[in-house]
Amino acid sequence: MEKQDHIEYWKAEAEENWNFAQRLVVSKDWVYSLFYFHLTLEKLFKALWVKENIDNAPPRSHDLQYLHNQTSLNLDAETYSYLAIVSSWNLESRYPDYKRMIYKRTDGPFTLNQLEKVKAIRECLQSRI
């Protein structure tokens, strides 16, 4: 595969995850919506990483701040800090005890607010790829 094929792979994966996240929001599956918001940004960061590096295999990390730091993207401090929150929706949401805890504090208004924040970061990343 050529470099552009790798970039397109990560972009397509991100788009699939974004579309699935939207369906989860509609079905009011708030916790998994957050999980797929995270996956969307992770894969866009990986597409940007591939674009900016010689290698075509991005870091095997789910930490969005780490992935951000591996690119030339320079998000403002508030958005950069927010990436840590989005990263917390990743692996931990797969474990039953964490999932029960997050179900108690996650609802529609919270998730819709996160959707808007993630959407802005998504658009920023897409504009750079």
In 27-107, where does DSSP find H-type helix?
A: 30-52, 64-69, 77-87, 96-105
pLDDT (tens digit, 9 = 90+) per residue, 36-65? 999 999 999 999 999 999 999 999 999 999
The pLDDT, as a whole number, for residue 105 is 81
Please classify residue 42 by burial: count the beta carbons closer than 10 Å to its beta carbon, then call 0-12 exposed, 13-18 middle and 19+ buried.
buried
**What CATH architecture is 3-128?**
Up-down Bundle (1.20)
The pLDDT, as a whole number, for residue 102 is 78
Domain boundaries, the chain: 3-128
Neighbours of 88 (CB within 10 A): 15
The pLDDT, as a whole number, for residue 30 is 93
Q: Give me the mean pLDDT over the 74-88 stretch.
A: 96
